[in-house]
C-alpha cells in the first residue's frame, strides 16, 4: 500500500470530525432546535441505513446475508437496550430533570455506538475498493463515503449537546466514531477475499443497528415536546441529503 492510498483511506474515515466541529459554532440550542436536530439526525441515519448500507449489502450478496445481518444488528442493539435499562424521560416520567438527563445521555451513547458500528463496513468497503480496483475505484468510493461522513458527524454530536455535553467534548466524540474506518479499511486491503465475503453481512448488521436507534430513540424523542411537524420536516431534509449524496457520489 502506497502513501497516497493510505492518505485517502484515513481521510474518508476522519471526515466525521468536520461535521462534529460544525456544532462548535452553535450556542446551547432551544428545545425546538434540539428536536429539529434529532429529527435531522434520524433522517440522515435512515438514508444511510437504506442507501449506504442495506442496498449495497443486497448488491454484494444475497437477501439472506443482508437481511440476516440486519436482524442480527437490531438484536444486538436490543440487547444493549436491555442491559442499559432506562425510562424515556419525556415520554413517561416528566417530573425529574436527572432522569431526563440520564435518558438523553443513554440515547446519545446508543447513537454513537450505532454510528461506530456503521463505520466499520464503510471502512471495509473502502479497503476492498482500493485492493480490487486500485485508485480508479478506491478514490471515488473514499470521496463519497468521506462526504457522507460529514453530516453523520454533525448528527452524532447533536444528541450529545442535547444531553448537556460540552460542545468540544461532543465534537471530539463525534469525530471518534470515524476512527474505526481506517483500521477496517487497512485490514480489508490486506485480506480482500475474506472482507469481500463478510461485507454483505457487515453492511446488513450496521443497517439493523442504525434502524433500531432511529425507531426506538430518535423519532419518539424528537416528537415528545410538541414539535412533531418541525422534527418531521427535518427528518425528511436529512433523508433527502443522504439520498442526494449517495446517488450523486
pTM of this prediction? 0.68
Cα angle for residues 195, 239, 110 (degrees, 5° grid) = 60
Distance CA 88, CA 57 (A): 32
Burial 91-118 (b: 16+ CB within 10 A, else e): eeeeeeeebbebbbbbbbbbbbbbbbbb
60: DSSP letter: H
Residue with cell 474506518: 181
> What local confidence, expressed as pLDDT, does residue 40 receive?
87
Output the pLDDT for position 96.
44
Report how far residue 204's alpha carbon sits from residue 172's, in angstroms, rounded to the nearest whole number: 27
Q: Cell numbers at residue 243, please?
A: 439520498
Residues 30 and 223: their CA atoms lie apart, in Å, by: 15
| Overall number of domains in the chain | 1
C-alpha cell at 131: 485492493
Q: Which of 233, 224, 221, 219 is nearest to 49 (CA)?
A: 219
Q: What is the pLDDT of residue 101?
A: 56
* Cα–Cα distances in angstroms (integers) from residue 49 to residues 42, 43, 73, 188, 246, in the given order: 10, 10, 12, 21, 11
Separation of alpha carbons 138 and 127, rounded Å? 8
Between CA 33 and CA 31 the distance in angstroms is 5
Task: Strands of the chain (E only): list them.
Answer: none
Report how far residue 59's alpha carbon sits from residue 83's, in angstroms, rounded to the nearest whole number: 34
**Residues spanned by the domain of 180:** 3-248
Spell out the SS3 assignment of 20-41. Answer: HHHHHHCCCCCHHHHHHHHHHH
Q: How far is CA 220 from each of CA 34, 212, 227, rounded to the nearest angstrom?
A: 13, 12, 11
Query: What pLDDT is stored for residue 72 in this prediction?
Result: 93
pLDDT in tens, the chain (249 residues): 778 888 888 888 888 888 777 777 766 667 788 788 788 878 888 888 888 788 888 988 889 999 999 999 899 888 877 776 544 444 433 444 444 556 666 767 777 777 777 778 778 778 877 876 778 768 877 887 787 677 778 777 777 777 777 888 888 888 888 888 899 888 888 876 666 777 788 888 888 888 887 888 788 888 988 899 999 999 999 899 888 877 776
Amino acid at each position: 500500500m502506497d502513501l497516497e492510498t493510505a492518505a485517502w483511506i484515513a481521510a474518508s474515515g476522519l471526515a466525521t470530525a468536520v461535521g462534529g466541529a460544525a456544532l462548535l459554532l452553535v450556542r446551547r440550542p432551544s428545545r425546538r432546535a434540539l428536536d429539529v436536530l434529532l429529527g435531522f439526525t434520524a433522517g440522515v441515519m435512515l438514508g444511510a441505513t437504506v442507501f449506504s448500507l442495506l442496498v449495497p449489502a443486497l448488491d454484494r450478496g444475497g437477501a439472506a446475508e443482508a437481511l440476516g445481518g440486519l436482524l442480527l444488528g437490531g438484536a444486538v442493539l436490543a440487547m444493549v437496550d436491555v442491559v442499559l435499562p432506562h425510562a424515556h424521560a419525556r415520554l413517561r416520567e416528566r417530573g425529574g430533570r436527572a432522569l431526563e438527563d440520564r435518558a438523553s445521555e443513554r440515547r446519545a451513547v446508543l447513537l454513537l455506538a450505532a454510528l461506530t458500528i456503521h463505520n466499520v463496513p464503510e471502512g471495509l468497503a473502502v479497503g476492498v475498493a482500493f485492493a480490487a480496483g486500485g485508485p480508479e475505484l478506491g478514490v471515488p468510493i473514499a470521496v463519497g463515503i468521506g462526504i457522507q461522513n460529514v453530516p453523520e458527524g454533525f448528527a452524532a454530536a447533536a444528541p450529545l449537546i442535547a444531553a448537556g455535553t460540552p460542545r468540544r467534548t461532543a465534537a471530539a466524540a463525534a469525530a471518534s466514531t470515524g476512527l474505526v474506518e481506517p483500521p477496517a479499511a487497512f485490514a480489508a486491503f490486506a485480506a480482500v477475499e475474506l472482507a469481500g465475503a463478510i461485507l454483505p453481512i457487515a453492511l446488513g448488521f450496521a443497517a439493523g443497528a442504525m434502524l433500531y436507534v432511529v425507531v426506538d430513540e430518535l423519532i419518539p424523542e424528537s416528537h415528545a415536546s410538541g414539535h412533531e411537524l418541525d422534527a418531521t420536516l427535518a427528518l425528511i431534509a436529512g433523508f433527502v441529503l443522504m439520498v442526494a449524496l449517495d446517488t450523486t457520489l
